[in-house]
């Protein structure tokens, strides 16, 4: 649990499995970017470009809900 590795959390991203927010951590393994949900353990392997796309999608969704 306390193993410290280079983790970047994707702000505003929602896990597609458990729908938790801000739980998706971006890690790099063997030069492959991995997105791991720290709540349910869901793992997605994505290129940085795809991750950015997902983040942007969520930003748009958040924008829609802005009053
Ligand atoms: Zn999850």
Residue 66 lies in a domain: no
Q: Stretch 2-7: mean pLDDT, rounded?
A: 61
C-alpha 42 to ligand 1 mean position (Å): 5
pLDDT above 60 (res 3) = no
Q: According to the model, what pLDDT value does residue 31 have?
A: 78
C-alpha 5 to ligand 1 mean position (Å): 19
Q: According to the model, what pLDDT value does residue 8 have?
A: 85
In the structure, ligand 1 is a single-atom ion and the residues with CB under 5 Å from it are: 15, 17-18, 37, 39-40, 42
Residue 3 lies in a domain: no
Counting the structural domains of the chain, the total is: 1
pLDDT above 90 (res 19) = yes
Residue 39 lies in a domain: yes
d(CA 7, CA 65): 28
C-alpha 21 to ligand 1 mean position (Å): 8
**Which residues, including other chains, have CB under 8 Å from residue 24's CB and lie 6 or more apart?**
9, 10, 13, 14, 15, 35, 36, 37, 38
Residue 64 lies in a domain: no
Residue 60 lies in a domain: no
Residue 62 lies in a domain: no
Q: For residue 33, what are the domain limits?
A: 8-54
Output 7 or 24, whichever has higher pLDDT. 24
């Amino acid at each position: 649990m306390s193993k410290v590795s280079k983790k970047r959390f994707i702000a505003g991203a929602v896990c597609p499995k458990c729908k938790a927010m801000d739980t998706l951590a971006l890690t790099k393994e063997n030069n492959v970017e991995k997105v791991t949900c720290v709540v349910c353990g869901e793992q997605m392997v994505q290129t940085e470009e795809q991750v950015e796309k997902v983040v942007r999608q969520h930003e748009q969704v958040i924008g829609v809900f802005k009053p």
